[in-house]
Amino acid sequence: MDMITVKDGTKIYFKDWGSGRPLFFHHGWPLSADDWDSQMMFFLEHGFRVIAHDRRGHGRSTQTFLGHDMDTYAADVAELVDVLDLKDSVHIGHSTGGGEVARYVARYGKGRVAKAVLISAIPPTFMKSDKNPDGVPKEVVDGIRNGTANHRAQFYKDITIPFYGFNRPGAVVSEGIQENWWRQGMMGAATAHYQCVKVLSETEFYDDLKIIDIPVLVMHGEDDQICPFPTTGARSVKLLKNGTLKSYPGFPHGMPTTHADQINADLLAFIES
């Protein structure tokens, strides 16, 4: 397997397919690089080099108890990017991975990253607070913590329903999509996923977004039941120097999977623009 060992000894798994301009994909909680299969296959066929990693504690990376904070997540990415010597790249993040993109690009992207994409992403901040009065209530976040710590196997099946909008009238439920989400989630460490709930819910990205000056596409489903559109995507674009918002009526949080054809086409148009 392709692995690098970062400074604290954690092994980070990654996929690196093809050649051409590099696209680096950052997955959401509690998934893995496999969540990007639809995008990686599409862009591989279009002549791009596609890279995705398993965040520490997730997927095939080391099930470490340490380093579960956004600064360390971004530093892990920076080490991998340096090893692969990626330049003129596009970094694309979904959900928690969108926060990772924002932190990485703001701190390490100068001279290496040409464009970025935030899809259904957590920035500028996720949980309700004085600064974010319309955010996700703490009791909802606590429910995610409880489910992850105490009955993860069932909770990971249950959360796929709102994640993909399968609870909406007329939705076509895909058992394969649900089982693939569950498979990815159960590969990782429960402790890493538990700690990552704090990271995704409490980390603020206001300063990161303000620093970023490259073109950034913000893509968000208007029926996102995980990262509500008005409090995440719509607000993120206002903080960016060169941001563009593309919203999708009726699309769910997991739209890169449920609506891959549309998302891939829009990503390609942005990357080639």
Q: Are 51 and 22 in contact (CB under 8 A)?
A: yes
Is 91 an annotated catalytic residue?
Answer: no
Task: Give the phi and the psi of residue 67 in degrees, each rounded to 5.
Answer: 85, 20
Selecting among 201, 224, 236, 259, the annotated active-site residue is 224
Is 69 an annotated catalytic residue?
Answer: no
Selecting among 95, 120, 201, 236, the annotated active-site residue is 95
Is 35 an annotated catalytic residue?
Answer: no
**Could you identify the residue written with the tokens 């913590």?**
145
∠115-238-261 over CA atoms, to 5°?
50
Q: Are 35 and 94 in contact (CB under 8 A)?
A: yes
Cis peptide upstream of residue 30 (ω within 30 degrees of 0): yes
Q: Residue 224 and residue 84: Cα distance in Å, rounded?
A: 34
Residues 6+ away with beta carbon under 8 Å from 260: 38, 39, 42
Selecting among 27, 193, 220, 253, the annotated active-site residue is 253
Tokens describing residue 30 = 């509690």
Catalytic residue annotation: 95, 224, 253
